[in-house]
Amino acid sequence: MAEQLVTGQQIFETDTRSITIDEVLMYVVEVNDRMAEEFGVDLTSAAAAAIDSTAAATIVRKLGLSGRAYLKDVNGKTYVILKGLAGKRADLTGTRYLSTNPKVAKLAIGSKNLLKGAARMTGIAIIAYSGLRVVEHLLSDGDQRLTQLFGTIASDIVKFAIAAGAGFLVGAAVGTITTIAAGPVIAAVIVGIGISILLDRVDRKYGLTETLVRAIEDTVDSFESPFRKLSRYINAWEEHFVQQAINNTMRFR
C-alpha cells in the first residue's frame, strides 16, 4: 500500500476525538484573549504571578512566616543559614545548608536568587508572549502587518521586564534590611503585580502599544520608500535594456 505523506498537520488522538495542532493553538490563543478581555490579565502575567506567589508560599510553608534565613560565603562556598528553632521546621531541621542542597536550592533566598528568578520569568515571558502573538498573528483573519506583531511583542515584553525588575529591586532592598526569609519574595510579588497592573492601565489609557506600533510602522515605511524608488529605477533600466535588445534584433533581421 502506498504511503500517504501529509505535511503541516499534526493530530493528537484521544479515545473520543482527534484534535489538530491548529485547534490546540487556537484554543490557547482564545483562552489568552478571553482572559485578557474578561479579567484584564493575560495567560503569561497570570502564570508569572502564580509562580511568584507559589515561591513565597513555599518559603512560608518550609520556614514559617517568621522564619529567618540569609546567605553566607565561607571558604568560597555559599551557605544558607537558618535562624530560629530548628524543631519548629518540618523539613529543614538543620541550621546550615550548602546553597546547592536540593532542600534549599529552590527557595528564593538572597538577592542573587531573586535576580535569577526575575530573569528566568522574563525569559519565559519572552518565549510565551512571542509564541502567543505569532500564533495569534498567523491565525488572525485580518491583514495584520508584521510591524503590528513586533510592536505588540515588544510592548508586552518591556512591560513584563519593568514589572519584574521593579519586583526584584524592592525584593533585594527588603532582603537587605530583614532576615525574614519570606520578606523579599512577598515584596517582589506585591510590587511585581502592582507595577504590572499600573503599566497595563497606563498602556490602555495612553495607548502606548499603539504609539509604539505606529512608530515602528513609520520607521519601516521611511526605510521602504528608498527601496521602492530603487526598484522603480531597476524596473526602468530593465525595460530600457529589453527594448534595446528588441531594437537590436529588429535591426539585424
Partner 1 sequence: MSRNVSILVLTIFALLGFWIAFWGFSDIRSAIGEMQMCREKVIFDHSSFWFLSLATLPLFLLLVIVPDRLHYVVLILIVLAAVVLPFAGLFALEADADGQGYTFAEPLTVWALIENSGVPANDCVRR
Binding site for partner 1 (CB under 8 A): 37-41, 65-66, 111, 166, 169-170, 172-180, 182-183, 186-187, 190-191, 193-194, 197-198, 200-201, 204
Cβ closest to partner 1, residue 147 vs residue 209: 209
Cβ closest to partner 1, residue 81 vs residue 190: 190
Query: Cell match 523539613: residue?
Result: 91
Shortest distance in whole angstroms from residue 204 CB to partner 1: 7
Shortest distance in whole angstroms from residue 86 CB to partner 1: 18
**Cβ neighbours of residue 77 under 8 Å, at least 6 residues apart?**
98, 99
Shortest distance in whole angstroms from residue 192 CB to partner 1: 12
Shortest distance in whole angstroms from residue 195 CB to partner 1: 8
Cβ closest to partner 1, residue 80 vs residue 181: 181
Cβ closest to partner 1, residue 132 vs residue 199: 199
